[in-house]
Amino acid sequence: WTQLVFGEGNHEAEFVFVGEAPGETEDQTGRPFVGPAGDKLTGMIRAMGLERGAVYIANVLKARPPGNRTPLAPEVERCGPYLLAQLAIIRPKVIVTLGGPATKLLLGSELGITRLRGIPARVTLGVAEGAPFEVPVMPTFHPAYLLRNYTVETRGQVWSDLQKALELAGRPIPPRAS
Ligand code: URA
């Protein structure tokens, strides 16, 4: 990898989207989700009636794994605390985890994304006023998976998950664009 890709967006965002790790374009530009999967994520955000600049986008890993392979456990262990610190600073209304590694880290679950998606969960981001500070998490498929499996079923599942994320934040649900 050539540079860190820390994350970008609104530090007071209501929604944080968490991916897996920077890919090649992200490594070149220093920005998360700017390749083909990034275009899809931007479309998902817009379908929710939001602008990309209004949300915050980050990854579990802050540096590109060789050949875009799946993050290894020691890498997640080293980078994970930075993600949790980012989330604790932003304190969003909802965290949308994109794919397996982000969902596994925040939910601490060994189940696969196919089992976990669409089911609202919660993550504790420290303590506020003496009580644990919890934020809802909505797991969904990674946009790269969606691009590889661009079926009526998968698109419907992702849209359903995004609607639930909007509901959790108390936001209106726009009509489905496509
Ligand atoms: N780009 C990212 O920043 N993260 C991913 O998980 C995939 C592509």
Ligand 1 closest atom vs CA 99:
6
167 alpha carbon – ligand 1 mean position (Å): 25
Q: What is the pTM of this model?
A: 0.97
Measured between its terminal Cα atoms, the distance across the chain in Å is 36
Distance from the alpha carbon of residue 165 to the mean position of ligand 1, in angstroms: 20
> Residues 102-134: pLDDT tens digits?
999 999 999 999 999 999 999 999 877 888 899
pLDDT at 178: 63
Does 5 have pLDDT greater than 70?
A: yes
Shortest CA distance to 5 belongs to which of 47, 44, 46, 35?
Answer: 35
d(CA 45, CA 32): 14
Q: Which residues line ligand 1 (CB under 6 A)?
A: 19-23, 26, 32-33, 35, 37-38, 59, 144
Residue closest via CA to ligand 1's atom 1 equals 33
Atom of ligand 1 at shortest distance to CA of 142?
A: 6
Instruction: Indicate the angle between helix axes 100-107 and 73-90, nearest 10 degrees.
Output: 70
CA of 18 to the centre of ligand 1 (A): 9
Q: How far is the CA of 163 from the centre of ligand 1 (A)?
A: 22
Q: How confident is the model at residue 159 (pLDDT cuts 50, 70, 90)?
A: very high
What does the pLDDT look like over 146-156, one tens digit per residue?
Answer: 999 999 999 99
Q: Which residues of 136-174 are buried (b: 16+ CB within 10 A; e: fewer)?
A: bbbbbbbbbbbeeeeeeeeeebbbebbbbbbebbebeee
pLDDT of residue 131: 82
- Residue from 24, 33, 45, 52 whose mutation best tests the ligand 1 pocket (most atoms within 8 A of CB): 33
Sheet strand arrangement including 94-98:
8-9, 56-59, 15-19, 94-98, 131-140, 121-128
Residue-wise pLDDT tens digits, 34-68: 999 999 999 999 999 999 999 999 999 999 999 99
